[in-house]
Amino acid sequence: MSFLRGRKILLFVAVIVLIFISGFKFLNYKYIIGFQHPESVCMYKNYMFVSNIGSSAASQNRDGFITKLDEYGNILEYKYIYGLKSPKGIFAYDNMLYIADLDRVCEFNLETQKQLCINIKGSKFLNDIVYANGSIYVTDTMNDAVYKIDKNNKVELFFSKKGLSPNGIAFLKKTGNFAVVSFDKPSVNIISPNGILLKSSFIKGYNGFDGVCVLNDSVFVSDYKTGAVLSLDFYLKKHQLIKRFNTPVADFFIDKNKLIAPLIDADKLYIGYFK
């Protein structure tokens, strides 16, 4: 830490903290409070979107909603999209916000504010979602399945394996494959564009993963029970701890200078800035 010599650092209580963890230098952080079981967060065009499960992760009572914030975490519309069943994973692309809503996928047009929901017959617990190569891919944790929805809204089973309990899903642009993490075990699974399991890597010392995010040549995952966020190399051979929250972390977001993590049980959103 020789670069700190000769510098004065002011510590503002609960606002600015200097933390060094596994090469990531967190300079400051803040918490946004008042959510209702926040499960997923995504960024799009200087806006932040957060899914709120509502009263229950498996509820049909339509008290789930999406909160819209600016890029700094200021809430613009608390219930930007409402009347959802139990929204979890969200993904934004080309002015569309895709929402995994329990047993259906909702497509919300951010320009026209129009919404279309597609029922996934037989699904039980749709969890995370990603848009890639003109199609939507969504995980079903309780059915050990990943579904694909094409541009014509045709639904098909993309991948299934008993005991997989798929949760987070991310697209690996470098290879064209998908990274899918298991909720019941600490494994990262690589699936080809044709729905073939190519590799499964287990990370010892953890319980089961929830979120997965890709940044450059690194894969990031969250361990749900411990609230640990890990960084893995692209080939899933090495890993390092980025931050431990000690409370469940769901589908987080990470880019070149910040980590945004929904703390689902604490009803908070963490925004941490690093170099």
Provide the 8-state DSSP code for 251.
B
Strand partners for 199: 190
Name the residue type at position 14: A
Per-residue tokens: 41 = 């967060």
pTM exceeding the 0.85 threshold for the entire prediction:
yes
Domain boundaries, the chain: 36-262
Q: What is the pLDDT along the chain (275 residues), one digit of tens a residue?
A: 333 333 333 333 333 333 333 457 788 999 999 999 999 999 999 999 999 999 999 989 999 999 999 999 999 999 999 999 999 999 999 999 999 999 999 999 999 999 999 999 999 999 999 999 999 999 999 999 999 999 999 999 999 999 999 999 999 999 999 999 999 999 999 999 999 999 999 999 999 999 999 999 999 999 999 999 999 999 999 999 999 999 999 999 999 899 999 999 999 999 999 87
Sequence length of the chain is 275
Per-residue tokens: 202 = 């287990």
Per-residue tokens: 128 = 């995370």
CATH code of domain 36-262: 2.120.10.30
Cα(15)–Cα(239) distance, rounded to whole angstroms?
A: 29
Farthest CA pair distance, the chain: 63
pLDDT of 275? 75
pLDDT of 26? 82
C-alpha pair distances (Å), 191 with each of 98, 230, 237, 239? 21, 20, 17, 20
pLDDT of 256? 86
Instruction: Return phi, psi of residue 7, to 5°.
Output: -105, 145
